[in-house]
């Protein structure tokens, strides 16, 4: 194995370890469950309907988040309080990943690619 391959393998393992640490910390916090019901955007009460997993692509790698899910029978929609709090509502990319993607696009545009 050459030096670069060793560095690349070590980097991949370190990032995966960091991703697991963040995943465990976030999933240990269940404060996104705020009770049996929560106000929906439509103005009615949404009922707690269990926890659901979302896979988020972070700059460290994949992170599986376990989140409280609330469903509103009046408007037939559901929402995840944690998604809004973490800035991942309606996306599967972490805020840092989105920023890296935007910066990459800007660099490519500047160089005419």
Q: Which residues contact 74 (CB under 8 A, 6 or more apart)?
A: 40, 42, 44
DSSP state of 87: T
pLDDT in tens, 29-68: 999 999 999 999 999 999 999 999 999 999 999 999 999 9
90, two tokens: 């309606």
Q: If you average pLDDT over residues 88-99, what whole number do you get?
A: 95
pTM of the model: 0.81
Within the chain, where are the H helices?
A: 3-28, 81-86, 95-110
């Amino acid at each position: 194995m050459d030096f670069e391959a060793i560095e690349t393998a070590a980097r991949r393992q370190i990032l995966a370890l960091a991703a697991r640490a963040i995943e465990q910390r976030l999933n240990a916090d269940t404060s996104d469950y705020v009770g049996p019901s929560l106000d929906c955007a439509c103005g009615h009460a949404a009922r707690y309907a269990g926890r659901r997993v979302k896979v988020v692509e972070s700059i460290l790698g994949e992170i599986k988040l376990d989140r409280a899910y609330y469903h509103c029978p009046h408007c037939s929609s559901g929402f995840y309080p944690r998604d809004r709090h973490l800035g991942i509502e309606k996306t599967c990319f972490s805020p840092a990943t989105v920023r890296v993607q935007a910066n990459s696009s800007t660099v490519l545009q500047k160089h005419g690619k």
